[in-house]
């Protein structure tokens, strides 16, 4: 069994760089890996790669969000569809169902930046599932323009959760045909950044 020392004092701003701390201390406690859930949305597999890096360090359950109705493969088509969903507030139905969500204390949520916003499928997950009282930790990949409003939207949709500092890294640039990039030197670099971030937010491996 894997345990972690959860010594968290970062609550509020979710930016990976240049964040504002809010004084919200949690009691130090041991967290079993069975209490950790990592949920992610991916299109070009870069967010999946980061989710797997986190999983290597903290264990827990790793779940990919799947939709009932898939998005189109064509980039411009998906951009147009997502823009309409954001404008109308449409929440796409998810095929993914999390059994016994109440058994988890820590929930990582990972997603790419779509149109400088939180992707609609992740909005669906956070809107349909009650994460009150849980520690929620966002992570993100993007085309180089940052997280946009996505981390703030996570905070808005989880008003009764402890939101920790998020992680963000540059992934592919689908618009330019640059898709999966988490390999070679890039993978090594991002893995180091992930470990550094996990240590910073207070997740320390105690026992395997």
Say if residues 206 and 54 touch (Cβ distance below 8 Å). no
- In angstroms, the CA 48 to CA 78 distance is 19
pLDDT averaged over every residue in the chain = 87
Residue 104: per-residue pLDDT: 97
CA-angle at 196, arms to 186 and 179, nearest 5°: 25
Say which residue the tokens 């309409």 belong to: 84
Tokens standing for residue 141: 């990949």
Of 24-28, 94-98, 102-106, 150-154, the poorest mean pLDDT is in 24-28
What pairing do the DSSP bridges indicate for beta strands 135-142 and 61-64?
unpaired
Share of the chain above pLDDT 70, in %: 83
pLDDT tens digit sequence for 132-191: 999 999 999 999 999 999 999 999 999 999 999 999 999 999 999 999 999 999 999 999
CATH class for domain 3-207? alpha beta
> The whole model's pTM is what?
0.87
């Amino acid at each position: 069994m894997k345990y972690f020392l959860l010594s968290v004092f970062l609550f509020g701003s979710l930016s990976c760089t240049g964040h504002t701390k809010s004084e919200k201390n949690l009691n130090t406690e041991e967290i079993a890996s069975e209490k950790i859930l990592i949920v992610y949305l991916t299109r070009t597999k870069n967010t999946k790669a980061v989710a797997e890096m986190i999983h290597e360090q903290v264990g827990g359950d790793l779940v990919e969000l799947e939709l009932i109705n898939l998005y189109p493969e064509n980039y411009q088509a998906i951009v147009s569809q997502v823009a309409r969903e954001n404008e109308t507030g449409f929440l796409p139905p998810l095929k993914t169902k999390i059994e016994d969500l109440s058994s988890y204390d820590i929930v990582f949520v990972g997603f790419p930046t779509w149109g400088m916003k939180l992707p609609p499928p992740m909005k669906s997950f956070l809107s349909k599932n009650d994460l009150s009282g849980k520690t929620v930790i966002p992570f993100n990949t993007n085309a180089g323009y940052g997280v946009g409003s996505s981390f703030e939207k996570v905070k808005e949709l989880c008003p009764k959760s402890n939101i920790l500092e998020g992680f963000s890294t540059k992934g592919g640039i689908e618009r330019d045909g640059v898709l999966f990039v988490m390999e070679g030197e890039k993978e090594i670099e991002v893995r180091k950044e992930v470990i550094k971030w996990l240590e910073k937010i207070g997740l320390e491996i105690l026992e395997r």
